[in-house]
Structure 1
Amino acid sequence: MLRILLLLAFLVAPLSAGGAQETAKVAEPRGVTILAFGDSLTAGYGLAEGLGFAPQLEDALRREGLAATVIDAGVSGDTSAQGRERLGWTLDSLEELPDVAILELGGNDMLRALDPSVTEENLAAMIEALQAREIEVVLAAIPAARNYGPDYVAAFDAVYPALGERYGIPVLPFVPEGASRAGLLLPDGVHPNFEGVKQIVTAFTARLVPLLD
Protein backbone atom coordinates (compact mmCIF):
# COMPACT_ATOMS: atom_id res chain seq x y z
CA MET A 1 0.00 0.00 0.00
CA LEU A 2 2.87 2.39 0.88
CA ARG A 3 4.47 1.76 -2.52
CA ILE A 4 1.19 2.61 -4.24
CA LEU A 5 0.83 5.86 -2.28
CA LEU A 6 4.39 6.91 -3.11
CA LEU A 7 3.82 6.13 -6.79
CA LEU A 8 0.63 8.23 -6.81
CA ALA A 9 2.45 11.13 -5.15
CA PHE A 10 5.18 10.95 -7.77
CA LEU A 11 2.66 11.03 -10.62
CA VAL A 12 0.58 13.88 -9.16
CA ALA A 13 3.55 16.21 -8.51
CA PRO A 14 4.27 17.04 -12.18
CA LEU A 15 0.58 17.71 -12.71
CA SER A 16 0.60 20.24 -9.88
CA ALA A 17 3.65 21.96 -11.34
CA GLY A 18 1.96 22.07 -14.72
CA GLY A 19 -1.10 23.65 -13.14
CA ALA A 20 1.10 26.35 -11.60
CA GLN A 21 2.62 27.04 -15.00
CA GLU A 22 -0.83 27.38 -16.52
CA THR A 23 -1.78 29.84 -13.77
CA ALA A 24 1.36 31.86 -14.49
CA LYS A 25 0.44 32.03 -18.16
CA VAL A 26 -2.93 33.59 -17.34
CA ALA A 27 -1.30 36.48 -15.47
CA GLU A 28 0.02 38.16 -18.60
CA PRO A 29 -0.12 41.91 -19.30
CA ARG A 30 -3.41 43.14 -20.73
CA GLY A 31 -3.25 43.45 -24.51
CA VAL A 32 -4.74 46.27 -26.57
CA THR A 33 -4.35 47.41 -30.18
CA ILE A 34 -4.54 51.15 -30.76
CA LEU A 35 -4.82 52.98 -34.06
CA ALA A 36 -3.19 56.42 -33.99
CA PHE A 37 -5.10 58.10 -36.81
CA GLY A 38 -4.04 61.66 -37.47
CA ASP A 39 -1.72 64.07 -39.20
CA SER A 40 1.96 64.98 -38.84
CA LEU A 41 1.72 64.96 -35.04
CA THR A 42 1.01 61.23 -35.04
CA ALA A 43 3.13 60.53 -38.12
CA GLY A 44 6.33 61.69 -36.40
CA TYR A 45 7.11 64.35 -39.00
CA GLY A 46 10.84 65.09 -39.28
CA LEU A 47 11.85 62.32 -36.87
CA ALA A 48 13.74 59.10 -37.45
CA GLU A 49 11.77 55.87 -37.52
CA GLY A 50 10.81 54.76 -34.04
CA LEU A 51 10.92 58.22 -32.48
CA GLY A 52 7.45 59.48 -33.34
CA PHE A 53 4.22 59.53 -31.34
CA ALA A 54 3.04 55.98 -32.08
CA PRO A 55 6.22 54.10 -31.12
CA GLN A 56 6.81 56.32 -28.09
CA LEU A 57 3.22 55.77 -26.95
CA GLU A 58 3.57 52.02 -27.38
CA ASP A 59 6.72 52.01 -25.23
CA ALA A 60 5.07 54.19 -22.58
CA LEU A 61 2.00 51.96 -22.35
CA ARG A 62 4.14 48.84 -22.09
CA ARG A 63 6.00 50.41 -19.19
CA GLU A 64 2.59 50.82 -17.56
CA GLY A 65 1.95 47.09 -17.87
CA LEU A 66 -0.20 47.18 -21.00
CA ALA A 67 0.81 44.85 -23.84
CA ALA A 68 -0.05 47.57 -26.31
CA THR A 69 0.43 47.67 -30.05
CA VAL A 70 0.09 51.16 -31.49
CA ILE A 71 -0.43 51.40 -35.25
CA ASP A 72 0.86 54.60 -36.84
CA ALA A 73 -1.79 55.84 -39.27
CA GLY A 74 -0.72 59.47 -39.38
CA VAL A 75 -0.29 61.33 -42.66
CA SER A 76 1.51 64.66 -42.58
CA GLY A 77 -0.55 67.54 -43.89
CA ASP A 78 -3.90 65.79 -43.64
CA THR A 79 -6.94 67.92 -42.97
CA SER A 80 -10.03 66.45 -41.35
CA ALA A 81 -11.57 66.08 -44.82
CA GLN A 82 -8.59 64.10 -46.09
CA GLY A 83 -8.61 61.93 -42.99
CA ARG A 84 -12.29 61.26 -43.51
CA GLU A 85 -11.61 60.14 -47.09
CA ARG A 86 -8.93 57.63 -46.14
CA LEU A 87 -10.35 56.23 -42.89
CA GLY A 88 -12.38 53.48 -44.56
CA TRP A 89 -9.61 52.01 -46.64
CA THR A 90 -7.15 52.38 -43.78
CA LEU A 91 -9.36 50.17 -41.61
CA ASP A 92 -9.96 47.75 -44.48
CA SER A 93 -6.21 47.36 -44.99
CA LEU A 94 -5.63 46.11 -41.42
CA GLU A 95 -5.52 42.39 -40.71
CA GLU A 96 -7.57 42.97 -37.56
CA LEU A 97 -9.53 45.98 -36.40
CA PRO A 98 -8.02 47.87 -33.47
CA ASP A 99 -9.62 47.97 -30.04
CA VAL A 100 -9.16 51.74 -29.75
CA ALA A 101 -8.65 54.60 -32.18
CA ILE A 102 -6.99 57.85 -31.18
CA LEU A 103 -8.47 60.40 -33.56
CA GLU A 104 -6.07 63.34 -33.88
CA LEU A 105 -7.09 65.68 -36.67
CA GLY A 106 -8.06 69.30 -37.09
CA GLY A 107 -4.73 71.04 -36.67
CA ASN A 108 -4.27 71.56 -40.39
CA ASP A 109 -7.84 72.81 -40.67
CA MET A 110 -6.99 75.43 -38.08
CA LEU A 111 -3.75 76.43 -39.81
CA ARG A 112 -5.78 77.00 -42.99
CA ALA A 113 -8.44 78.90 -41.00
CA LEU A 114 -11.12 76.51 -42.27
CA ASP A 115 -14.62 76.81 -40.89
CA PRO A 116 -14.71 74.97 -37.52
CA SER A 117 -18.18 73.64 -38.37
CA VAL A 118 -16.65 71.76 -41.32
CA THR A 119 -13.99 70.30 -39.05
CA GLU A 120 -16.67 69.21 -36.62
CA GLU A 121 -18.70 67.59 -39.39
CA ASN A 122 -15.71 65.60 -40.65
CA LEU A 123 -14.65 64.48 -37.19
CA ALA A 124 -18.23 63.45 -36.42
CA ALA A 125 -18.36 61.30 -39.57
CA MET A 126 -15.12 59.56 -38.58
CA ILE A 127 -16.30 58.94 -35.03
CA GLU A 128 -19.49 57.38 -36.35
CA ALA A 129 -17.55 55.22 -38.82
CA LEU A 130 -15.26 53.94 -36.05
CA GLN A 131 -18.12 53.30 -33.65
CA ALA A 132 -20.00 51.45 -36.38
CA ARG A 133 -17.12 48.95 -36.39
CA GLU A 134 -17.23 48.76 -32.58
CA ILE A 135 -13.92 50.57 -32.17
CA GLU A 136 -13.59 52.68 -29.03
CA VAL A 137 -12.72 56.29 -29.90
CA VAL A 138 -10.48 58.67 -27.98
CA LEU A 139 -10.62 62.17 -29.43
CA ALA A 140 -7.40 64.16 -29.24
CA ALA A 141 -8.12 67.87 -28.92
CA ILE A 142 -5.88 70.29 -30.81
CA PRO A 143 -5.97 73.87 -29.51
CA ALA A 144 -6.36 76.77 -31.90
CA ALA A 145 -3.46 79.17 -32.18
CA ARG A 146 -4.23 82.24 -30.11
CA ASN A 147 -3.39 84.64 -32.94
CA TYR A 148 -6.45 83.64 -34.99
CA GLY A 149 -8.73 86.03 -33.15
CA PRO A 150 -11.03 85.34 -30.17
CA ASP A 151 -14.09 84.39 -32.23
CA TYR A 152 -12.30 81.79 -34.32
CA VAL A 153 -10.39 80.43 -31.32
CA ALA A 154 -13.59 80.03 -29.31
CA ALA A 155 -15.42 78.32 -32.18
CA PHE A 156 -12.56 75.94 -32.98
CA ASP A 157 -11.79 75.01 -29.37
CA ALA A 158 -15.47 74.23 -28.79
CA VAL A 159 -15.49 71.54 -31.49
CA TYR A 160 -13.79 68.79 -29.46
CA PRO A 161 -15.77 68.98 -26.19
CA ALA A 162 -18.99 69.23 -28.20
CA LEU A 163 -18.15 66.00 -30.04
CA GLY A 164 -17.13 64.30 -26.81
CA GLU A 165 -20.49 65.10 -25.26
CA ARG A 166 -22.47 64.17 -28.37
CA TYR A 167 -20.88 60.75 -28.80
CA GLY A 168 -20.02 59.95 -25.20
CA ILE A 169 -16.30 59.60 -25.89
CA PRO A 170 -13.28 60.81 -23.92
CA VAL A 171 -11.57 63.97 -25.15
CA LEU A 172 -7.91 64.32 -24.20
CA PRO A 173 -5.74 67.38 -24.82
CA PHE A 174 -3.05 66.31 -27.26
CA VAL A 175 -0.56 69.12 -26.71
CA PRO A 176 0.27 69.75 -23.04
CA GLU A 177 0.98 73.26 -21.83
CA GLY A 178 4.57 74.25 -22.55
CA ALA A 179 5.12 71.69 -25.31
CA SER A 180 5.70 74.48 -27.84
CA ARG A 181 8.47 76.20 -25.94
CA ALA A 182 11.99 76.52 -27.33
CA GLY A 183 14.00 73.31 -27.29
CA LEU A 184 10.99 71.07 -27.90
CA LEU A 185 10.38 71.93 -31.55
CA LEU A 186 12.06 71.11 -34.84
CA PRO A 187 13.74 73.99 -36.71
CA ASP A 188 10.44 74.69 -38.50
CA GLY A 189 9.07 75.97 -35.21
CA VAL A 190 5.86 73.96 -35.64
CA HIS A 191 6.47 70.25 -35.17
CA PRO A 192 7.79 68.68 -31.95
CA ASN A 193 11.23 67.11 -31.86
CA PHE A 194 11.92 63.86 -30.01
CA GLU A 195 11.83 65.55 -26.60
CA GLY A 196 8.68 67.41 -27.56
CA VAL A 197 6.94 64.18 -28.59
CA LYS A 198 8.15 62.58 -25.38
CA GLN A 199 6.47 65.32 -23.36
CA ILE A 200 3.26 64.93 -25.37
CA VAL A 201 3.30 61.14 -24.89
CA THR A 202 3.99 61.39 -21.15
CA ALA A 203 1.03 63.68 -20.56
CA PHE A 204 -1.23 61.76 -22.95
CA THR A 205 -0.36 58.39 -21.41
CA ALA A 206 -1.21 59.58 -17.91
CA ARG A 207 -4.76 60.33 -19.10
CA LEU A 208 -5.10 57.37 -21.45
CA VAL A 209 -4.12 54.53 -19.13
CA PRO A 210 -7.09 54.93 -16.73
CA LEU A 211 -9.43 54.83 -19.76
CA LEU A 212 -7.85 51.61 -21.03
CA ASP A 213 -8.13 50.04 -17.58
Structure 2
Amino acid sequence: MRAPVSAVPVLAALAALSLAGCSRDKAPDALETRGATTAAGAPVATAVPADAPVILAFGDSLYAGYQLDQGQSYPARLQAALNAAGVKARVINAGVSGDTTAAARQRLAFTLENQPRKPALVMVGLGGNDMLRGLPPAQTRANLDAILAELKRRGIPVMLTGMLAAPNMGADYVAAFNPIWPALAKKYDAALVPFFLQPIIARPALQLPDHMHPNAQGVDAIVTATQPAVAQALAKALHQNNPSPRA
Protein backbone atom coordinates (compact mmCIF):
# COMPACT_ATOMS: atom_id res chain seq x y z
CA MET A 1 0.00 0.00 0.00
CA ARG A 2 2.55 2.60 1.15
CA ALA A 3 5.96 2.26 -0.49
CA PRO A 4 8.87 2.20 1.99
CA VAL A 5 11.33 5.07 1.92
CA SER A 6 14.64 4.17 0.27
CA ALA A 7 16.92 4.44 3.29
CA VAL A 8 20.50 4.95 2.13
CA PRO A 9 20.23 7.83 -0.38
CA VAL A 10 17.48 9.50 1.63
CA LEU A 11 19.40 9.45 4.90
CA ALA A 12 22.61 10.67 3.27
CA ALA A 13 20.77 13.58 1.70
CA LEU A 14 18.96 14.31 4.94
CA ALA A 15 22.27 14.76 6.68
CA ALA A 16 23.21 17.47 4.19
CA LEU A 17 19.75 18.97 4.50
CA SER A 18 20.01 19.20 8.28
CA LEU A 19 23.44 20.82 8.19
CA ALA A 20 22.26 23.37 5.64
CA GLY A 21 19.10 24.06 7.61
CA CYS A 22 20.81 24.58 10.94
CA SER A 23 23.31 27.01 9.44
CA ARG A 24 20.82 29.30 7.72
CA ASP A 25 18.70 32.06 9.18
CA LYS A 26 15.16 31.06 10.06
CA ALA A 27 12.64 31.90 7.38
CA PRO A 28 10.25 34.80 8.02
CA ASP A 29 7.41 34.08 10.44
CA ALA A 30 4.86 36.39 8.81
CA LEU A 31 1.48 34.75 8.22
CA GLU A 32 1.07 33.82 4.58
CA THR A 33 -2.44 32.40 4.30
CA ARG A 34 -3.08 32.56 0.57
CA GLY A 35 -5.36 31.07 -2.00
CA ALA A 36 -3.97 29.33 -5.05
CA THR A 37 -4.43 32.16 -7.52
CA THR A 38 -2.73 32.93 -10.80
CA ALA A 39 0.69 34.58 -10.50
CA ALA A 40 3.12 35.85 -13.12
CA GLY A 41 5.41 33.11 -14.28
CA ALA A 42 3.30 30.31 -12.84
CA PRO A 43 -0.28 30.60 -14.10
CA VAL A 44 -2.96 28.33 -12.70
CA ALA A 45 -4.48 27.19 -15.96
CA THR A 46 -7.59 25.41 -14.72
CA ALA A 47 -10.47 27.40 -13.24
CA VAL A 48 -11.79 26.28 -9.86
CA PRO A 49 -15.52 25.47 -9.87
CA ALA A 50 -17.58 27.55 -7.44
CA ASP A 51 -18.78 24.43 -5.65
CA ALA A 52 -15.31 22.91 -5.28
CA PRO A 53 -14.63 21.45 -1.82
CA VAL A 54 -11.93 23.17 0.19
CA ILE A 55 -8.61 21.62 1.17
CA LEU A 56 -6.75 23.60 3.82
CA ALA A 57 -2.96 23.18 3.58
CA PHE A 58 -1.86 23.85 7.18
CA GLY A 59 1.89 23.74 7.56
CA ASP A 60 5.25 25.46 7.43
CA SER A 61 7.45 26.87 4.65
CA LEU A 62 7.07 23.71 2.55
CA TYR A 63 3.44 24.68 2.07
CA ALA A 64 3.89 28.46 2.24
CA GLY A 65 6.13 28.44 -0.84
CA TYR A 66 9.35 29.79 0.63
CA GLN A 67 11.15 32.06 -1.90
CA LEU A 68 8.66 31.15 -4.65
CA ASP A 69 6.05 33.19 -6.46
CA GLN A 70 2.57 32.80 -5.02
CA GLY A 71 1.36 30.63 -7.88
CA GLN A 72 4.35 28.28 -7.50
CA SER A 73 3.61 27.12 -3.96
CA TYR A 74 2.62 23.53 -3.27
CA PRO A 75 -1.04 24.38 -2.54
CA ALA A 76 -1.31 26.45 -5.74
CA ARG A 77 0.21 23.78 -7.93
CA LEU A 78 -1.74 21.00 -6.20
CA GLN A 79 -4.98 22.86 -6.83
CA ALA A 80 -4.11 23.23 -10.51
CA ALA A 81 -3.17 19.56 -10.83
CA LEU A 82 -6.30 18.29 -9.08
CA ASN A 83 -8.67 20.37 -11.18
CA ALA A 84 -6.82 19.53 -14.39
CA ALA A 85 -7.34 15.87 -13.51
CA GLY A 86 -11.06 16.42 -12.99
CA VAL A 87 -10.95 16.50 -9.18
CA LYS A 88 -12.75 19.64 -8.05
CA ALA A 89 -10.83 21.29 -5.21
CA ARG A 90 -9.93 24.71 -3.87
CA VAL A 91 -6.63 24.48 -1.97
CA ILE A 92 -6.10 27.25 0.59
CA ASN A 93 -2.52 28.01 1.58
CA ALA A 94 -2.27 28.23 5.38
CA GLY A 95 1.48 27.67 5.44
CA VAL A 96 3.69 29.84 7.64
CA SER A 97 7.43 29.85 7.05
CA GLY A 98 9.40 28.94 10.16
CA ASP A 99 6.45 27.40 11.99
CA THR A 100 7.12 24.75 14.61
CA THR A 101 4.40 22.36 15.67
CA ALA A 102 3.92 24.44 18.81
CA ALA A 103 3.40 27.67 16.85
CA ALA A 104 1.01 25.94 14.47
CA ARG A 105 -0.96 24.48 17.36
CA GLN A 106 -1.45 27.99 18.74
CA ARG A 107 -2.83 29.35 15.46
CA LEU A 108 -4.99 26.39 14.46
CA ALA A 109 -8.30 27.60 15.91
CA PHE A 110 -7.81 31.12 14.52
CA THR A 111 -7.01 29.73 11.08
CA LEU A 112 -10.04 27.42 11.01
CA GLU A 113 -12.44 30.03 12.32
CA ASN A 114 -11.38 32.53 9.67
CA GLN A 115 -12.08 30.29 6.71
CA PRO A 116 -15.13 31.34 4.64
CA ARG A 117 -16.09 27.67 4.31
CA LYS A 118 -15.40 24.66 6.45
CA PRO A 119 -12.62 22.59 4.85
CA ALA A 120 -13.53 19.17 3.53
CA LEU A 121 -9.95 18.07 4.26
CA VAL A 122 -7.02 19.54 6.17
CA MET A 123 -3.49 18.64 5.11
CA VAL A 124 -1.03 18.94 8.00
CA GLY A 125 2.63 19.42 7.04
CA LEU A 126 4.71 20.23 10.12
CA GLY A 127 7.70 18.99 12.08
CA GLY A 128 10.69 19.91 9.95
CA ASN A 129 11.47 23.03 11.97
CA ASP A 130 11.16 21.05 15.21
CA MET A 131 13.83 18.66 13.94
CA LEU A 132 16.14 21.39 12.65
CA ARG A 133 16.00 23.09 16.05
CA GLY A 134 16.54 19.81 17.90
CA LEU A 135 13.27 20.06 19.79
CA PRO A 136 12.28 16.92 21.73
CA PRO A 137 10.33 14.46 19.56
CA ALA A 138 7.90 13.94 22.44
CA GLN A 139 7.02 17.62 22.15
CA THR A 140 6.51 17.31 18.40
CA ARG A 141 4.28 14.28 18.88
CA ALA A 142 2.20 16.00 21.57
CA ASN A 143 1.64 19.10 19.46
CA LEU A 144 0.67 17.14 16.35
CA ASP A 145 -1.59 14.93 18.45
CA ALA A 146 -3.34 18.02 19.81
CA ILE A 147 -3.77 19.44 16.29
CA LEU A 148 -5.28 16.21 15.02
CA ALA A 149 -7.50 15.88 18.08
CA GLU A 150 -8.91 19.37 17.50
CA LEU A 151 -9.57 18.64 13.84
CA LYS A 152 -11.31 15.40 14.82
CA ARG A 153 -13.42 17.32 17.36
CA ARG A 154 -14.50 19.65 14.56
CA GLY A 155 -15.31 16.72 12.27
CA ILE A 156 -12.65 17.55 9.67
CA PRO A 157 -10.74 14.66 8.02
CA VAL A 158 -6.96 14.92 7.92
CA MET A 159 -4.04 14.04 5.69
CA LEU A 160 -0.52 14.07 7.15
CA THR A 161 2.56 14.79 5.06
CA GLY A 162 5.42 13.33 7.06
CA MET A 163 8.99 14.23 7.82
CA LEU A 164 12.14 12.24 8.62
CA ALA A 165 14.95 13.21 10.98
CA ALA A 166 18.47 13.57 9.64
CA PRO A 167 20.77 10.79 10.89
CA ASN A 168 23.22 13.29 12.36
CA MET A 169 20.53 14.08 14.94
CA GLY A 170 21.53 10.77 16.55
CA ALA A 171 20.02 7.30 16.57
CA ASP A 172 17.85 7.94 19.63
CA TYR A 173 16.39 11.11 18.11
CA VAL A 174 15.69 9.39 14.79
CA ALA A 175 14.05 6.43 16.54
CA ALA A 176 11.74 8.75 18.46
CA PHE A 177 11.02 11.22 15.64
CA ASN A 178 10.41 9.14 12.52
CA PRO A 179 7.53 6.98 13.84
CA ILE A 180 5.45 10.01 14.86
CA TRP A 181 3.59 10.37 11.58
CA PRO A 182 2.71 6.71 10.94
CA ALA A 183 1.56 6.33 14.56
CA LEU A 184 -0.66 9.41 14.49
CA ALA A 185 -2.05 8.53 11.06
CA LYS A 186 -3.11 5.17 12.48
CA LYS A 187 -4.52 6.71 15.67
CA TYR A 188 -6.66 9.24 13.81
CA ASP A 189 -7.37 7.22 10.65
CA ALA A 190 -5.62 9.93 8.66
CA ALA A 191 -4.21 9.60 5.17
CA LEU A 192 -0.41 9.67 5.11
CA VAL A 193 2.37 10.70 2.76
CA PRO A 194 5.29 9.10 4.65
CA PHE A 195 7.99 11.61 3.58
CA PHE A 196 6.88 14.79 1.83
CA LEU A 197 10.34 15.71 0.50
CA GLN A 198 11.23 12.33 -0.97
CA PRO A 199 10.74 13.44 -4.63
CA ILE A 200 13.48 16.10 -4.30
CA ILE A 201 15.99 14.41 -1.97
CA ALA A 202 19.42 14.04 -3.60
CA ARG A 203 18.18 16.02 -6.63
CA PRO A 204 19.81 19.50 -6.43
CA ALA A 205 18.14 20.61 -9.66
CA LEU A 206 14.81 20.46 -7.82
CA GLN A 207 16.00 22.36 -4.75
CA LEU A 208 16.61 25.98 -3.84
CA PRO A 209 20.25 26.91 -3.09
CA ASP A 210 19.61 26.20 0.61
CA HIS A 211 19.31 22.48 -0.32
CA MET A 212 16.22 22.27 1.87
CA HIS A 213 13.26 23.74 0.06
CA PRO A 214 11.93 22.79 -3.37
CA ASN A 215 12.21 25.20 -6.25
CA ALA A 216 9.29 25.55 -8.67
CA GLN A 217 10.27 22.35 -10.50
CA GLY A 218 10.67 20.58 -7.17
CA VAL A 219 7.19 21.63 -6.12
CA ASP A 220 5.80 20.14 -9.31
CA ALA A 221 7.67 16.89 -8.61
CA ILE A 222 6.15 16.73 -5.14
CA VAL A 223 2.70 17.48 -6.55
CA THR A 224 3.07 14.68 -9.09
CA ALA A 225 4.07 12.26 -6.34
CA THR A 226 1.33 13.25 -3.90
CA GLN A 227 -1.66 14.21 -6.04
CA PRO A 228 -3.15 10.68 -6.28
CA ALA A 229 -3.03 10.27 -2.49
CA VAL A 230 -4.59 13.71 -1.96
CA ALA A 231 -7.37 12.95 -4.45
CA GLN A 232 -8.06 9.66 -2.68
CA ALA A 233 -8.09 11.33 0.74
CA LEU A 234 -10.46 14.04 -0.52
CA ALA A 235 -12.83 11.46 -2.00
CA LYS A 236 -12.87 9.57 1.30
CA ALA A 237 -13.47 12.79 3.24
CA LEU A 238 -16.37 13.79 1.01
CA HIS A 239 -17.90 10.34 1.40
CA GLN A 240 -17.58 10.56 5.18
CA ASN A 241 -19.24 13.96 5.23
CA ASN A 242 -21.95 13.03 2.75
CA PRO A 243 -22.48 9.26 2.81
CA SER A 244 -24.63 7.87 0.03
CA PRO A 245 -28.03 6.66 1.20
CA ARG A 246 -28.45 2.91 1.27
CA ALA A 247 -30.53 1.40 -1.47
* TM-score of the two chains, using structure 2 as the length reference: 0.72
Match for residue 210 of structure 1? Answer: 232
Match for residue 97 of structure 2? Answer: 76
Unaligned runs of 5+ in 2: 1-48, 236-247
Distance 2:233 2:115 in 1: 24
Give the superposition deviation at 1:146: 2.4
Match for residue 174 of structure 2? Answer: 153
Match for residue 185 of structure 2? Answer: 164
Match for residue 163 of structure 2? Answer: 142
Comparing 165-174 and 114-123, the one that deviates more: 165-174
* TM-score of the two chains, using structure 1 as the length reference: 0.83
Does residue 105 in structure 1 map to residue 126 in structure 2? yes
Compared CA separation, residues 29 and 207, structure 1 to 2 (3 A):
farther
Contact 2:101/2:126 (CA < 8 Å) preserved in 1?
A: yes
* Greater RCO (CA < 8 Å, at least 6 residues apart): 2
Match for residue 37 of structure 2? Answer: none
Distance 2:198 2:224 in 1: 9
The CA deviation string for residues 126-165 of structure 1, in whole angstroms up to 9 with x for no partner, is: 1111111111111111111222122211211011111111
Distance 2:113 2:202 in 1: 35
Compared CA separation, residues 164 and 141, structure 1 to 2 (3 A):
same
The structure number with the bigger radius of gyration is 1
Distance 1:180 1:78 in 2: 24
Match for residue 39 of structure 1? Answer: 60
Distance 2:186 2:232 in 1: 19
Within a 5 Å distance, the mapping from 1:46-85 to structure 2 comes to 46-85=67-106
Distance 1:111 1:95 in 2: 34
Unaligned runs of 5+ in 1: 1-27
Contact 1:33/1:71 (CA < 8 Å) preserved in 2?
A: yes
The CA deviation string for residues 8-50 of structure 1, in whole angstroms up to 9 with x for no partner, is: xxxxxxxxxxxxxxxxxxxx99832100000000000000110
Contact 1:32/1:66 (CA < 8 Å) preserved in 2?
A: no
Distance 2:191 2:114 in 1: 26
- After superposing on structure 2, the runs of 4+ consecutive aligned residues of structure 1 that deviate more than 6 Å are none
Give the superposition deviation at 1:100: 0.3
Distance 2:72 2:147 in 1: 27
Kindly provide the amino acid, as one letter, of the partner of residue 203 in structure 1. Answer: A
The residue matched to 2:233 in structure 1 has which SS?
helix
The residue matched to 1:183 in structure 2 has which SS?
helix
Q: What is the identity percentage for the equivalent residue pairs of Structure 1 and Structure 2?
A: 45
Does residue 186 in structure 1 map to residue 224 in structure 2? no
